[in-house]
A and B are shown apart, each in its own frame.
Chain A
Amino acid sequence: EDKVVQSPLSLVVHEGDTVTLNCSYEVTNFRSLLWYKQEKKAPTFLFMLTSSGIEKKSGRLSSILDKKELFSILNITATQTGDSAIYLCAVSDYKLSFGAGTTVTVRA
């Protein structure tokens, strides 16, 4: 059975801090790893990482994929209160398997 483990489960930081979120996985037929941000509604897409795209960056968010060690990291620099959310990691073979998520709270 596919397995996706995120850590930590939750964390609280202050504005301006840097946050690092971890995602490790065991998947039979790995195709890609996706990061999502979930606030009050459904998840919004952040990044997709694949064998041919193991590093992505968008503004203050960046992510890397280590296919050898089977993990990914999502970094958020210079955090803002608007970054408060649940961050979900999902691994795709044909369908997505989600981790439990990391709840990030950014205090002003």
Chain B
Amino acid sequence: GAVVSQHPSWVICKSGTSVKIECRSLDFQATTMFWYRQFPKQSLMLMATSNEGSKATYEQGVEKDKFLINHASLTLSTLTVTSAHPEDSSFYICSARVAAGGYYEQYFGPGTRLTVT
């Protein structure tokens, strides 16, 4: 299957600072990537859809000025959590979509655990 990487795998930052998370498709090109967050014992919540060369599409209730997404190339999308606060602490996961016989399979990166102190 397709491989998606994320960096860093975990990060601790102080309240008020910004954190950037990278998501890369390693062996394929991804015009579309997705960003999710997951709280303990809960399922994945889609935050935004990242499209290469255009603006991201945010889900209802997700602040686009707080969670900046940039999809600068066909293999890289970044999520920047700006002015992070403790309530932003979560597990952030990206995924990339791969065309498969007229449909799309979706592969996930290993996730980034963000802790804001």
Residues in chain A within 8 A of chain B (CB atoms): 31-32, 34, 36, 41-45, 48, 50, 88, 90, 92, 95-101
Query: Is B105 engaged at the interface, CB distance under 8 Å to the other chain?
Result: yes
Number of B interface residues in the complex (CB < 8 A): 20
> Which secondary structure dominates where chain A touches chain B?
strand
Task: Choose among A32, A42, A92, A101 the residue that contacts B109 (Cβ–Cβ < 8 A).
Answer: A42
Chain B, interface SS category = strand
Residues in B whose Cβ lies below 8 Å from that of A101: 43
Is B46 touching A48 in the complex (CB atoms < 8 A)?
Answer: no
Would B43 and A48 count as touching, CB distance under 8 A?
A: no
Q: B67 — which chain A residues lie within 8 A by C-beta?
A: none
Within 8 A of A (CB), among B30-49: 34, 42-44, 46, 49
B103→A98 contact, CB < 8 A = no
Is A100 in contact with B108, judged by CB distance below 8 angstroms? no
Of B6, B103, B107, B111, most buried by chain A (CB within 10 Å of CB) is B103
Q: Cβ of A95: which chain B residues have Cβ within 8 Å of it?
A: 34, 46, 49
Find out whether the CB atom of B43 lies under 8 angstroms from the CB atom of A98: yes
Are A45 and B1 in touch, CB under 8 angstroms?
yes
Q: Mark B46-61, 1 if CB is under 8 A from A, else 0.
A: 1001000000000000
- Say whether B84 faces chain A, with CB atoms less than 8 Å apart: no
B81 within 8 A of A: no
Contact of A34 among B43, B106, B110 (CB under 8 A): B106
Contacts A45-B1, A95-B34, A95-B49 given; does A50 touch B108 at CB 8 Å: no
Cα–Cα distance between A50 and B99 once the two chains are bound (Å): 13
The chain A residue with its CB closest to the CB of B46 is: A95
Contact of A45 among B106, B109, B110 (CB under 8 A): B106
- A39: shortest Cβ distance to chain B, in Å? 11
* Residues A31 and B107 in contact, CB atoms below 8 Å apart: no
